[in-house]
Amino acid sequence: QLQLVESGGGLVQPGGSLRLSCAASGFSLDLYAIGWFREAPGKEREGVSCITSSSRSTVYADSVKGRFTISRDNAKNTVYLQMDALEPEDTAVYYCATLYTCGPINTMSDYGMTYLGKGTLVTVSS
């Protein structure tokens, strides 16, 4: 079965950290750019970050720049999103998706989204 599975979400206090993982099963991630998206309650899904297949280029939303770091380990068929200095506004379901390339963060989903995971919930609250 071809799928992406996100993990690593949970409840964290403001200022805390989490590392999300996006693992592929049934196919190899190394041909794809990988994007992270999030959807907060009552809001539309938005692009958070993206990394190209070669890891040479990364893109971040302004709201997370300097706090989140995207990386990948193609040998483990996994992409990571390290989230530091978390804020209550970061509360959302986080999804990863395969893309042909990393386009502009606001239109990232237009760049050949093929596989989309079911998401992992991140809650930032005291």
The pLDDT profile of the chain, 126 residues, written as one tens digit per residue, is: 889 999 999 999 999 999 999 999 999 999 999 999 999 999 999 999 999 999 999 999 999 999 999 999 999 999 999 999 999 999 999 999 999 999 999 999 899 888 999 999 999 999
Gap between the Cα atoms of 87 and 15, Å rounded: 6
Token match 């990386």: residue?
Answer: 71
Token match 């990364």: residue?
Answer: 58
